[in-house]
Chain A
């Protein structure tokens, strides 16, 4: 059952290793070019790994909280948004996380959610106000389950490592090509006079082609990896909720939303449930250069699970829609199927979107340190930012004294 995720982790490690080899290759090509000698390749390769290590250590020392700050997320307490908090706790129970992740709200009207946490002990789940406004409880549960799936499957660590590798390759190849283009001529003629001969030129050409192709290749690998982890997080979400329809219906609603999102960080992009929309962009374009699979495919797979929620059912549905497998066939043998189970919802009374929006933005404001002051005269509730607290004596709506 969960062993499949283990196996996928192994496969992902192989992919990351391949990316690392390309990185070393780029370094070697650069080293050879700069020194004009074969021995330079060794130095270049080691230097490339060194650059990657520095970037990796830097990102680790910064921790996940930088990502949350970049997205302008505010941590909330249970009393700020009991429903969201409950759902996160429920899903942590279902996924057997060692600790309930911290809960954050992002002040963005674009509906989306993401998870951070290289270590499941220090994980966090963040959702936008737009998401809370749009989804009902079952759908929200599906989205949170998908994010908990990312945490449980250790996707954050994997995608950060791969993303840094990609960044290092892009930077190195870019430097190499620029140097070749502008400063290469004189160096080459000097090598010629030294007697390097035609072999040197051919080597240079090969290095140039490699420098052009490797960033593209690595990007393709990176995006394919990201899309795969996305499908697997969907599979985990279906498994944890025992109710694939919740996530499917949420994805459907997210696909119809067209509000662009403020956070366009490439680092967090693979962790979002749907790709953050840019200004004036449409969703659902299948592309080899996308971190996320097309939404309609994800929905089709979730809805094709045929009343079961285990990974086998997901894999069967996946191969029906996409003609391929998402989990290793060897591990599918000998495990039993698990039927779907509708969630219990005592509060079946639907909450209107305006109420959900109000609850969500109130929760965000509480997380941002706002103070709620009710005016006893006109009934208005004033939400006062941290810096202005205690400096308002009268209600701005009716003018009555706020005697406290």
Chain B
């Protein structure tokens, strides 16, 4: 009789332990998914800022039509890009085009002093940072999740949990965030 009670207690404890591990895996997987969607949110933020930026710069540098067109085109392509690979490439081209746009300001002192432009500059560099931090947070979350699902005894029950792939930057232009030095 007593051994039966003991067996049931042990079974309940073991089951509870695995339920805990399972819930932990679910939580970590959700965190990973959340982090991934943050990247999209921040990329969209960048797209939304660009028309405003181009409009401000246009007021001061009317002759640089080529640069504006390149930025607008890169933006539109990035907005409509399908799939991670295409999106990554489009964002990379957009980053490079933005770098050129900011380099323009060098030749227009009035633009450099413009409050609106300075504010946009802060917004855009914050957006670049956010994209970087969102990626970084995703990779951190994915690493935590992957570690959690591979260690013993979690690996006994983590068959249904797919490994999260890390975000790798493949396009050279994308790796280089537009860096602009102002005199």
**Interface residues, chain A, with chain B CB atoms under 8 Å away:** 1-3, 82-83, 86-87, 89-91, 93-96, 240, 242, 334-336, 341, 343-349
Q: Is the CB of B122 within 8 A of A86?
A: yes
**Interface residues, chain B, with chain A CB atoms under 8 Å away:** 31, 34-35, 38, 42, 102, 112, 118-119, 121-126, 128-130, 132-134, 136-137, 140-141, 143-144, 147, 177-182
Residues of A within 8 A of B140 (CB): 1-2, 96
Q: Is the CB of B181 within 8 A of A348?
A: yes
For the complex with contacts A2-B144, A90-B126, A347-B122, 7 further pairs of A-B residues with Cβ separation under 8 Å are A83-B122, A83-B126, A94-B136, A96-B31, A96-B137, A341-B136, A344-B178
A96 to B32, CA, bound (A): 10
Residues of A within 8 A of B136 (CB): 94, 242, 341
Q: Is the CB of A348 within 8 A of B180?
A: yes
Residues of B within 8 A of A87 (CB): 126
Q: Is the CB of A346 within 8 A of B143?
A: no
Closest to B112 in A: A349
The answer, among B34, B121, B134, B177, for a CB contact under 8 Å with A347, is: B121
Q: Is the CB of B147 within 8 A of A335?
A: yes
Q: List 4 tightest A-B contacts by C-beta distance, closest first.
A: A346-B125, A86-B126, A94-B133, A349-B182
Contact A344:B177 (CB < 8 A) given known A90-B129, A94-B133, A242-B136: yes
A397 to B130, CA, bound (A): 43
Interface centre among A87, A93, A240, A347 (most CB of B within 10 A): A93
Please name 22 pairs of A and B residues whose Cβ atoms are closer than 8 Å in the assembled complex, sorted by A. A1-B140, A1-B147, A2-B144, A3-B144, A82-B119, A82-B122, A83-B126, A86-B122, A86-B126, A86-B129, A90-B130, A91-B133, A96-B34, A96-B137, A334-B147, A344-B125, A344-B129, A344-B177, A346-B128, A346-B178, A347-B125, A349-B182
Residues of A within 8 A of B35 (CB): 96
Q: Is the CB of A348 within 8 A of B137?
A: no
Residues of B within 8 A of A95 (CB): 137
The answer, among B112, B124, B144, for a CB contact under 8 Å with A346, is: B124
Contact A344:B122 (CB < 8 A) given known A2-B144, A96-B35, A336-B143: no
